[in-house]
Amino acid sequence: MNASENTAGPVVAFLGTGIMGAAMARNAAKAGLEVRGWSVPLADAERLADDGIEPFPTAAAATAGADLVVTVVPDAAAIESFATGADGFLPALGPDAIWIQCSTVGVAGADRLVALAAEHGATIVDSALLGSKLPAEEAQLIMLASGEEAAIDRCLPLFDAISRRVVRLGKAGNGSRMKMVTNGWIMTTVAATAEAMALAKTFGLDGMGFLEGIEGTALDNGYAQIKGRMSLAGEYPAAMRLVNGAKDARLVTEASREAGLAGRVIGAAAELMKRGVELGHEDEDMAAAYFAAIEPVEG
């Protein structure tokens, strides 16, 4: 018997309770779901106890008896590190439970995880997330859900608690593919904004003139305004850390090239973000790509 038969909804285990996972777990608990947590470091899960989220010592312990098991960690390798073995979550997954894979893992990583689920007879819903810290906190994420329709239906009590919309994309793995499509657009927009602000600065102009000029027109978008204003203020509170933006841009570049495309623009964005990380801005918002954009050319 799954624990949910004695509760108002599915029992949900969050494996990974960093910035995104913690916000999602809190919203699930606020919606009245029974929520468990496990993370590395474990302190990330333990600090959620006051929010009604029970911490567990291992991924396996958090998973046992849960109906929905959500992975929200940096990459596929991290998931693979706690998926199997004595403390792994896949051996502990019940026969009717669903693994909801929400991490940004790229195309190759998603295919590995879908195959891993099949090897263990597990049902997987590959549901990449659109949104960063604030949308996660406000339950305004977009779920790029892929997998069996019936499995996605069973995830809806959780999705309703943490998101504003669910986009159904067919077979498992397509959610991660659509995340690459979307991230390509996001990362190139961030990079283009960084270079626009850097060029204005180099010309001796106030970058606010650029932001005011495009505001409210067909040229405008929220990312340009938010990230551009960070550059003007010289303050980069992280909605998404630059190191993660660089990772995501790299994954999109790899996916593009594996698909037979040149990926020139996203490749340039990936290099810009990588350079920003090298300059020491990895823990700042990805708008800190500005520091790479403003760097003078040697020689």
**Length of the chain counted residue by residue:** 299
- 13 closest CA partner among 30, 32, 31, 37: 37
- 197 closest CA partner among 287, 275, 104: 287
pTM score, two decimals? 0.91
- 245 closest CA partner among 205, 289, 206: 289
Antiparallel, parallel or unpaired: β 141-146 and 123-130: antiparallel
d(CA 131, CA 167): 14
d(CA 144, CA 18): 20
pLDDT by residue (tens digit) across 211-270?
999 999 999 999 999 999 999 999 999 999 999 999 999 999 999 999 999 999 999 999
222 burial level (CB within 10 Å; 0-12, 13-18, 19+)? exposed
CA angle 198, 203, 207 (to 5 degrees): 50
pLDDT number for residue 266: 98
pLDDT by residue (tens digit) across 27-57?
999 999 999 999 999 999 999 999 999 999 9
d(CA 299, CA 278): 20
Per cent of the chain over pLDDT 90 is 95
d(CA 270, CA 58): 35
CB 13 within 8 Å of CB 70: yes
